[in-house]
A and B are shown apart, each in its own frame.
Chain A
Amino acid sequence: MGAVTWREALGGPWASHWVVWAALYPPTTLVVLLRESVTPYPHWWWPLLSATLQHLAVGVIITVGAAIFRRRHPILPLAVIGIVWGLAAVARGLIGGGIAQSVAGVDPEFAFRISAWLLASTLWVPVFVYTLAQFDQRRLLLGAQDATQAGLADARDHAGESADHIQHRLRESVRQTLEPVLADLQGSLARSRDSLSRERIDTLGAQLTAVHDEVVAVVESAGGGHRAAAGGELRASTRRAFDVTPQRPIVTSLMVTFATIALVVPDAWRVFGALAGAEVSVATTLAGLILASVPHLALRAGWTVSIFPGQRVTIVAIVLSVSAMTWIMLTSEIDPITWHGLLISPLIAVALILASTVFSLAAVLARSNGEASDALAAAIAELDAARATHDALEERERTRLSILLHGPIQGRLAACVMALNFYTAASDDGRDDDGHAAGVIDAVVRHLADVSVDLASLAELGHNPTRATPEEG
């Protein structure tokens, strides 16, 4: 898992994601409300309806448009994304103008509406899409880092395990699995060997086959389980992904100021005149200066600063900048009509908060994700190496155990299985000699007793690895 490139971020699934679409609903609605504040609609809710219809049309265009092009390009070319979002902006202008004309009987001003939406889309949508793609990638990277660190801790625990410990664990596993089954079989055979029916021998043969297969299976599976569950995408919490230190706050706040002015000034100018436009520019510039200064000074003072909107320094910066902007809008007298400021201020405040969060993240996340991706790759390499070392050791011990099991245990069990199966098959074919059953059963019981002794001895050797194994004499 690596960092996301510009092209992957802008052309990937986030280009047409519903979260982007939903996140843009509040600011675009405020823009429409400001734009239609002087349109003589018969009811107050017409601007709201117009904003909602425009936004629904945008949702349909980006969803359908992206789906059509994505059939051929999993990552959409930037030109395609530009065309889709451009069409959405044109649709907004046409719908907004059309409703204003048909309901309020005013000039639809299509050129202004379409141009304003194209400008706003160009400045806001790419940053939104890019930031959300990087943000999601950061959550995935942090989740993968957590899983890898947990795996590393597990691997480090196992790294201290010696060959003797592994051998002991494997032998204990074999003993614990087989001992009760063997005891049961021995008891069953010993109790009823003089009156064993053909069906009973058949059943015992099947049980013994299961025991034999178990020996093979236990050796294969014993001692595993240290691998953390792989696969499945884990995402870190949103709060944690937000927790990054802002970089270059002055450059970021310049972009925030410019994007906010581009979003608000055209409508403020058109609706309330040049003075209102100038007032918005001054208020937004002052707010931008505060947004830049507070984190910049806090960072220089060595304080902890995070982009998370709930972090102390960020809260102070946002509150101060919005307050300063509101103070200018209401009291500066650049535009002498105060209610203009009252109408415009909420849109500027929302735009400033959104832009400061999104633009700050956009400036930081690419580098953070690159660093997180490198750290993750290093941790995965360390984990793979630790697991490979342990797996090699365990495989060696498993092979050693399987050799030990081969003759004294697995071989004898195979002999017992064959004895019972051959005997029952011969009975079916009428080849049975009277009284042969007891001889076969006696031999099988003896073999099983020997297997039990060897099994106990094998487990005992696991506790005392320096002693010789049964096979080693």
Chain B
Amino acid sequence: MADPEPIDAVVLVADDDDLVRSVLGMALRSLGLTVVEAADARQVAEVARNAPLDLAVLDINMPGGTVHDTLGSLREEQPALRVLVLSGDLSPPADLHTVANDFAHKPIELPDFLSRVTRLLRQSQHE
């Protein structure tokens, strides 16, 4: 894969599994992105209050609240924030499409993950 054009952006990686956060962070940093991490819904809300974000990558099941609670707290602070939801389920809950910008199945391949992240960040920058 050719080196993608660096994007100046801040991405939140929220997952209760430290290995997932670690590998997603590693992949995002390889694009030159700034990564902030959160391990539960409470930390997500805290990060959203304190840092301007360009994209959030959320695990669908995290301690401290449902995905809708977590998305609600993110949107409350940053209404235009792009969100990619990752889940072990093959298909997302029916109502998730209305609140998340993208949904992917976990485990996800690196090229697929980076392609989704890049697309969402470009959409965010073009608004």
A331 CB to closest chain B CB, in angstroms?
Answer: 88
A415 touches B20 (CB 8 A): yes
Known contacts: A418-B107, A421-B107, A425-B111. The answer to whether A411 contacts B88 by CB under 8 A is: yes
Q: Which residues of B contact A363 (CB under 8 A)?
A: none
Q: Which residues of B contact A447 (CB under 8 A)?
A: 19
Chain B 29-50 interface mask (CB, 8 Å, partner A; 1/0): 0100000000000000000000
Chain B 51-67 interface mask (CB, 8 Å, partner A; 1/0): 00000000001000000
Known contacts: A411-B88, A415-B20. The answer to whether A431 contacts B30 by CB under 8 A is: yes
- Does residue B99 face the partner (Cβ distance < 8 Å to A)? no
A423 touches B23 (CB 8 A): yes
- Does residue A235 face the partner (Cβ distance < 8 Å to B)? no
- Does residue A410 face the partner (Cβ distance < 8 Å to B)? yes
A95 to B109, CA, bound (A): 81
- Does residue A343 face the partner (Cβ distance < 8 Å to B)? no
Give how many B residues have a beta carbon under 8 Å from the other chain's beta carbons.
23
A141 CB to closest chain B CB, in angstroms?
Answer: 43
Known contacts: A406-B88, A407-B61, A419-B23. The answer to whether A412 contacts B17 by CB under 8 A is: yes
A440 touches B23 (CB 8 A): yes
Closest B residue, CB atoms, query A443 = B19
Q: Which residues of A contact B3 (CB under 8 A)?
A: 429
- Does residue A352 face the partner (Cβ distance < 8 Å to B)? no
B107 touches A212 (CB 8 A): yes
- Does residue A428 face the partner (Cβ distance < 8 Å to B)? yes
Task: Enumerate B100-127 residues with CB–CB distance to A below 8 Å.
Answer: 106-111, 113
- Does residue A380 face the partner (Cβ distance < 8 Å to B)? no
A410 to B60, CA, bound (A): 13
Closest A residue, CB atoms, query B20 = A415
Q: Which residues of B contact A436 (CB under 8 A)?
A: 26
A157 to B88, CA, bound (A): 35
A429 touches B27 (CB 8 A): no
Chain B 67-94 interface mask (CB, 8 Å, partner A; 1/0): 0000000000000000000001010000
Main DSSP-derived SS at the A contact region = helix
A303 to B111, CA, bound (A): 83
Give how many A residues have a beta carbon under 8 Å from the other chain's beta carbons.
27
A415 to B15, CA, bound (A): 10
A453 to B120, CA, bound (A): 38
A418 to B109, CA, bound (A): 7
Contact of A419 among B16, B19, B30, B90 (CB under 8 A): B19
Task: Enumerate A370-428 residues with CB–CB distance to B below 8 Å.
Answer: 406-407, 410-412, 414-419, 421-423, 425-426, 428
B20 CB to closest chain A CB, in angstroms?
Answer: 4
A193 to B113, CA, bound (A): 26
A429 to B31, CA, bound (A): 12
Q: Which residues of B contact A426 (CB under 8 A)?
A: 26-27, 30, 110
Known contacts: A406-B61, A411-B61, A429-B1. The answer to whether A419 contacts B22 by CB under 8 A is: yes
Q: Which residues of A contact B106 (CB under 8 A)?
A: 411, 414, 418
A77 CB to closest chain B CB, in angstroms?
Answer: 52
A216 to B106, CA, bound (A): 12
B20 touches A418 (CB 8 A): yes
B1 touches A416 (CB 8 A): no
Q: Which residues of A contact B19 (CB under 8 A)?
A: 412, 415-416, 418-419, 443-444, 447
Q: Which residues of B contact A428 (CB under 8 A)?
A: 1
Closest B residue, CB atoms, query A412 = B17
A415 to B107, CA, bound (A): 7
Known contacts: A209-B107, A414-B106, A415-B17. The answer to whether A422 contacts B23 by CB under 8 A is: yes
A417 touches B1 (CB 8 A): no
Q: Which residues of B contact A417 (CB under 8 A)?
A: 107
A96 to B48, CA, bound (A): 103
Q: Which residues of A contact B90 (CB under 8 A)?
A: 216
A411 to B16, CA, bound (A): 10
Closest A residue, CB atoms, query B110 = A425
Closest A residue, CB atoms, query B106 = A414
A440 to B90, CA, bound (A): 26
A387 to B94, CA, bound (A): 29
Which one of B16, B88, B90 has the highest number of Cβ atoms from chain A below 10 Å of its Cβ?
B88
A429 to B27, CA, bound (A): 11
Q: Which residues of A contact B88 (CB under 8 A)?
A: 406, 410-411, 414
A431 to B22, CA, bound (A): 15
Which one of B1, B17, B108 has the highest number of Cβ atoms from chain A below 10 Å of its Cβ?
B17
Closest B residue, CB atoms, query A428 = B1
A406 to B3, CA, bound (A): 35
A443 touches B22 (CB 8 A): yes
Q: Which residues of A contact B23 (CB under 8 A)?
A: 415, 418-419, 422-423, 440
A416 to B106, CA, bound (A): 11
A266 CB to closest chain B CB, in angstroms?
Answer: 78
A-B contact pairs, 26 of them (CB 8 A): A209-B107, A216-B90, A407-B16, A407-B61, A411-B17, A412-B17, A412-B19, A415-B17, A415-B19, A415-B23, A415-B107, A418-B107, A418-B108, A421-B109, A421-B110, A422-B24, A422-B27, A422-B110, A423-B23, A425-B1, A425-B111, A426-B27, A426-B30, A429-B3, A436-B26, A447-B19
Which residues of B line the A interface, CB within 8 A? Answer: 1, 3, 16-20, 22-24, 26-27, 30, 61, 88, 90, 106-111, 113
